[in-house]
């Protein structure tokens, strides 16, 4: 049984990655329903929390149905991160997570996210202060390094473990790679198999099928896998991986009706959490993903993204279920 501190999270847990503008409560709800073991919020600005900025504070919203959950924070100032960690803890998550992996320029080039990988002493000091500031387990998500010349991920893991983190997720790319190229899991395995590392190590990057999840589990020996982009529009991936690991057999892919049903659930959660106007608007980014691979779907997509009336959107979704019931989805 894998544990983060005293929190049991399964024999081989599947974690939903924190993704900006994606991993909100409605999206987390459908992923949880479909087999995700541990949730993480979108990353939250430490400065935003301290200033009580509405967007940052709203990201603290968590619900009992999605537990266990970690609130992820980012920032470049140690004092601000310490204060933000205490604010995050007050929202009552199971885990406080630190983002040392975001590659986006406006974050990393200011010394936050992956930028802190250029200053390991500061990273260690910041983490130590956060661990001391909260009573819940602290975890970290990071990358291999800033670029190929600065990969010191074993040292990073040791430093973070030494100051008290309870688990480490490693995305197998450098900051310079952004999300391009192939994730290098050899470095992740090097950390996992190092004799001085005893905290759980989770791998992240390029897991987009049950077969790949099984291969990477066996080849690299990680304690669990974090899944990000592959879950967008396809929350079924968590249960598909679990079934394949348990039986060696693949589940049937979701039908049109399955896709319509999950879209309705996501939309319902979105309307409840954000209100009709914002809930409708922010669902628009998800329609293409849920119905990817359906031939001749474009006219329906246009109607979905142009419609402002929630009731009419549900009617369109019913039309889709009827119209495409016999369609073959192109994977």
Q: Let me know whether 175 and 295 are in one domain.
A: no
Each residue's pLDDT tens digit, 223-240: 999 999 999 999 999 999
Per residue in 118-144, pLDDT (tens digit) is 999 999 999 999 999 999 999 999 999
Residues 204 and 308 in one domain: no
Domain for residue 328, yes or no? no
Asked if 115 and 229 sit in the same domain, the reply is yes
Same domain? For 284 and 156 the reply is no
229 and 311 together in one domain: no
Same domain? For 275 and 298 the reply is: yes
Whether 11 is in a domain gets the answer yes
Which of 14-18, 218-222, 252-256 has the weakest average pLDDT? 252-256
Task: Look up residue 115 and give its DSSP letter.
Answer: G
pLDDT tens digits for range 182-193: 999 999 999 999
Whether residues 171 and 151 share a domain: the answer is: yes
What is the reported pLDDT for 327? Answer: 60
In the chain, % of residues over pLDDT 90: 89
User: Is 109 assigned a catalytic role?
Assistant: no
Residue 115 lies in a domain: yes
Residue that is last in its domain, among 213, 230, 247: 247
Domain boundary residue among 247, 268, 285? Answer: 247
Domain region containing 284:
256-323
Give me the helices (H) in 145-209, please. 153-162, 185-192
Report the candidate in 31, 29, 24, 22 with the shortest Cα–Cα distance to residue 64: 29
Claim to verify: residue 300 and residue 227 sit in the same structural domain: no
Residues 176 and 113 both lie in one domain: yes
**Spatial distance between the Cα atoms of 329 and 331, rounded to a whole number of angstroms:** 6
Does the pLDDT of residue 331 top 60, yes or no? no
* Domain shared by 182 and 286, yes or no: no
Looking at 247, 268, 289, which one is the last position of a domain?
247
Mean pLDDT of 266-270: 96
- Residue 283's pLDDT band (boundaries 50, 70, 90)? very high
Of the candidates 31, 102, 109, 307, the residue annotated as catalytic is 102
Of 139, 144, 141, 140, nearest in space to 118 by CA? 144
Task: Residue 282: give its domain's CATH number.
Answer: 1.10.1200
pTM recorded for the entire structure: 0.94
pLDDT score, position 323: 84
151 has pLDDT over 80: yes
Find, among 181, 115, 104, 111, the residue nearest to 145 by Cα: 115
What are the structure tokens assigned to 135, written together? 């009573």
Same domain, 163 and 195: yes
Q: Is the pLDDT of residue 328 over 60?
A: no
Residue 31 near residue 235 (C-beta atoms within 8 A): yes
Identify whether 309 is part of a domain.
Answer: yes
Do the domain assignments include residue 329? no
How large is the average pLDDT for residues 305-316?
A: 94
Q: Do 62 and 134 sit in the same domain of this protein?
A: yes
Query: Residue 157 and residue 91: Cα distance in Å, rounded?
Result: 27
Complete DSSP assignment for 76-102: S-HHHHHHHHHHHHHT--SEEEEEE--
Confidence class for position 195, pLDDT limits 50, 70, 90: very high
Count of domains in the chain?
2
Which CATH number belongs to the domain containing residue 27 in this structure?
3.20.20.70
């Amino acid at each position: 049984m894998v544990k983060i501190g005293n929190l049991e999270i399964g024999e081989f847990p599947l974690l939903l990655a924190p993704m900006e503008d994606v991993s909100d409560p409605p999206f987390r709800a459908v992923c949880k329903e479909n087999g995700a073991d541990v949730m993480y919020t979108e990353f939250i600005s430490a400065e935003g929390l301290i200033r009580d900025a509405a967007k940052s504070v709203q990201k603290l919203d968590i619900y009992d149905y999605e537990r266990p959950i970690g609130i992820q924070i980012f920032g470049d100032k140690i004092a601000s991160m310490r204060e933000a960690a205490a604010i995050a803890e007050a929202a009552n998550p199971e885990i406080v997570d630190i983002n040392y992996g975001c590659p986006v320029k406006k974050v990393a080039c200011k010394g936050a996210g992956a930028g802190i990988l250029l200053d390991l002493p500061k990273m260690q000091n910041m983490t130590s202060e956060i661990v001391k500031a909260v009573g819940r387990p602290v975890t970290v998500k990071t990358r291999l390094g800033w670029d190929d010349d600065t990969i010191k991920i074993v040292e990073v893991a040791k430093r973070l473990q030494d100051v008290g983190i309870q688990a480490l997720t490693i995305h197998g790319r450098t900051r310079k790679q952004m999300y391009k190229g192939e994730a290098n899991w050899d470095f992740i395995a090097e950390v996992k198999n190092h004799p001085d590392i005893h905290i759980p190590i989770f791998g992240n990057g390029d897991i987009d099928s049950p077969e790949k999840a099984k291969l990477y589990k066996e080849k690299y020996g990680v304690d669990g896998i974090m899944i990000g982009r592959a879950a967008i529009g396809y929350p079924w991936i968590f249960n598909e991986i679990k079934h394949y690991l348990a039986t060696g057999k693949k589940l049937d892919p979701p039908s049109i009706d399955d896709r319509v049903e999950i879209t309705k659930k996501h939309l319902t959660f979105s309307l409840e959490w954000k209100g009709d106007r914002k809930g409708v608007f922010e669902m628009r980014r998800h329609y293409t993903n849920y119905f990817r691979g359906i031939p001749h779907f474009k006219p329906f997509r246009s109607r979905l993204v142009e419609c402002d009336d929630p009731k009419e959107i549900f009617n369109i979704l019913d039309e889709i279920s009827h119209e495409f019931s016999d369609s073959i989805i192109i994977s």
